[in-house]
Amino acid sequence: MRIGLIGAGNLATQLASALAAKGHHFLQVYSRTEYSAGILAARLGCEAVVQPEQICSEADLYICALKDDVLSQVLPRVNFGKGLLVHTAGSLPMTVLSDYTPNHGIFYPLQTFSKQRPVDFSEVPIFIEAALSDSLDLLKNLASELSEKVVQVSYEQRKQLHLAAVFANNFVNYLYSIAEDLVHEKGLDFQYLLPLIEETSRKVKTIAPVKAQTGPAVRFDCRVMNKHLQLLGEYPEWQHLYEILSKGIYERTINKSSVI
């Protein structure tokens, strides 16, 4: 398939690399930043463009992986010809694309991407949607080349997945960063926490998170919790966060018990 790539961020980089590895042909990479477009275009062996008007209209598929807020600045200036235009965002309805071409859809891989870390797409769920049924088939086939989990979902479902991902990824990572600060403060290495972090994430593959819950909050161990709040004395925000999360865990445990 001949693909035009609009955006050169983390997701664009990893998705394009995976599709290129499957033999798909990239015509162009567009980015506002010449540097970003150039790097990725070189990797894909195609042209880099920095003006939306330079995007050619011959592609079969346009993958738009721009930040949500710049979408409406770029897309009106592009002629998509007969190509299928998809965006990769979790939080935008498909209809934001309907002004630009009737042939549009969604291609949302649920994963966290960085430019440096190659991603094994075979395990990554890809959520699709399309305005035209032929295009839905096309997306289904394309996504299935990359992943074993291709699912057609509604916008309602997709935005909920995105919200859940913020909790399971962004917020989790923030808690890791607090943990890192805490151990560094006492001259200890963050590496000591890695086996725990790994096991915590593995556990929920076989045990539902609510059943896997351990720690002072779940058993309402006030002595330990108070000690921890004291230790956090210099960090009122983290103290507050500790209280809220502990309260949430405890209430969740109570509710679970009262249901059973």
Task: Pick the stretch among 25-33, 41-49, 77-85, 156-164 that binds its own copies (CB under 8 A).
Answer: 156-164
* Binds its own copies by CB under 8 A, chosen from 70, 132, 166, 254: 166
- As measured in angstroms, the least distance from the Cβ of 104 to its own copies is 20
Question: What is the distance between the alpha carbons of residues 62 and 11, in angstroms, rounded to a whole number?
Answer: 14
- Least distance to its own copies, CB of residue 54, Å: 26
How many CA atoms does the CB half-sphere of 80 hold within 13 Å? 24
Binding characters for its own copies, 59-88, by CB under 8 A (x = yes): --------xxx-------------------
Binding part of the chain for its own copies, among 21-29, 42-50, 51-59, 118-126 by CB under 8 A, reads 118-126
Of 22 and 247, the one with the shorter C-beta distance to its own copies is 247
How far does Cα 44 stand from its chain's mean position?
22
Q: Which CB atom, from 2 or from 149, has the smaller least distance to its own copies?
A: 149
d(CA 233, CA 124): 41
**Rule CB under 8 A: is residue 24 a binding residue for its own copies?**
no
Size of the site for its own copies (CB under 8 A): 95
Pairing type for strands 104-109 and 126-130 reads antiparallel
| Residues 104/98, Cβ–Cβ less than 8 Å | yes
Task: Tell me the H-state helices in the chain.
Answer: 10-21, 34-44, 71-74, 133-146, 155-165, 172-185, 194-203, 209-212, 222-231, 236-259
3-class SS at 113?
coil
Q: How far is CA 65 from the centre of its chain?
A: 11
Q: How far is the CB of 10 from its own copies (least distance, A)?
A: 8
Tokens of 206: 């076989």
Contact positions with its own copies (CB under 8 A) in 200-259:
200-210, 212-219, 221, 223-224, 227-228, 231-232, 237, 240-242, 244-245, 247-249, 251-252
Interface residue with its own copies among 192, 234, 236, 258 (CB under 8 A) is 192
Q: Give the span between the Cα atoms of 122 and 226, in whole angstroms.
A: 45
87-116: which residues touch its own copies (CB under 8 A)? Answer: 91, 110-114, 116
